[in-house]
Amino acid sequence: MTRLIVWRHGNTDWNAGSRVQGQTDVPLNELGRRQAADAAELLVRLRPAAIVASDLSRAADTAAALAALTGLTVSIDERLRERHFGEWQGHTMAEVAAERPEEHARWTAGEDVVGGGVETLDDLGKRVCDALQDAARLAPAGGTVVVATHGAAARQGVGHLLGWRREQMRTLRALQNCHWVELTHDEARGWQMAAYNVGVQAGRPVPPPV
């Protein structure tokens, strides 16, 4: 059985300010670096065989915290980048809602945004799913691979990997910063979700809500 850990990056100042990051390269803040270090202390116990990350620094630096404990080199894959939010990037969600209400309404409803240069959900899911499948192949049979990526990218990529419809994907709450999804794969059952939104809070592991 192969295990795949899909890990969201740590906190950034734009996260804290509810500002749309998308593919803007925003670094981890002090809290984010601490979150990454705390999460890495748990993930190292899974004895990962490989670590893969988005090339955006908030994900790559999150992965680096685990690499420092394992001695592994982080492989970079641009397909793991966050959803491209086009003209929304750099604005707060309140600004988007006020200035682009029709686009924001479609986003809130889980529909593709028409206008603004926002990447479609299918395009996002397919590219991240392809990257996850390639990452999983880096581990020997029975091994674990940790993939550091982004919130929307993780949800859509995992959903595509599991073959879920868009309506099913919307039942997943957003991953918290530095929390992860655990997936397993075997020849008989294919991909299955073992845990969702697992992480560290106040220095203690948080049990998965599903």
Residue written as tokens 């392809």? 130
Q: Are 118 and 103 in contact (CB under 8 A)?
A: yes
Given the residues 41, 82, 167, 187, select the one marked as catalytic.
82
10 in a known ligand binding site: yes
Does the annotation flag 29 for ligand binding?
Answer: no
163 labeled binding residue: no
Q: Does 9 belong to an annotated binding site?
A: yes
Count other C-beta atoms under 10 Å from residue 123's C-beta: 13
Query: CA–CA distance from 30 to each of 11, 58, 181 (Å)?
Result: 8, 12, 23
User: CA-CA distance, 172 to 132, in Å (whole number)?
Assistant: 18
Active site residue 82: yes
Ligand-binding annotation for 185, yes or no, is: no
Binding site annotation covers 164?
no
Residue tagged active-site, from 9, 104, 150, 179: 9
The two beta strands, 204-206 and 74-76, are unpaired
Instruction: Consult the annotation and say whether 100 binds a ligand.
Output: no
Binding-site positions for substrate read 8-15, 58
Q: Which residues are annotated as a binding site?
A: 8-15, 58
Query: Mind telling me the catalytic residues?
Result: 9, 82
